[in-house]
Amino acid sequence: MLDTSTLAPIRAATGLSLAACSQIGSGTRVPHPRHWEALIAIMKGEEAANSDLAWQ
């Protein structure tokens, strides 16, 4: 699961709503595969929102 203490990185990397980001972060929603690479980067501590991974 992703850290849901701050949803900003998830939202910046995916462009999804805060509600959707919260659900993804808590594990109750599975993100579309197009967001997986950016979310993996977030989990590794990388700045996905400021890289080429954002909005793919």
User: For a pLDDT cut of 90, what percent of the chain falls above it?
Assistant: 39
- Which has more confidence, 50 or 43? 43
- What pTM was estimated for this model as a whole? 0.69
Distance, in Å, from the CA atom of 5 to the CA atom of 21, rounded to the nearest integer, reads 11
Q: What is the mean pLDDT of residues 27-46?
A: 90
- DSSP letters for 1-56: ----S--HHHHHHH---HHHHHHHHHTSSPPPGGGHHHHHHHHTT--GGGSTTTT-
Q: What is the mean pLDDT of residues 25-39?
A: 92
C-alpha distances in Å from residue 32, one per residue of 12, 38, 56: 15, 11, 11
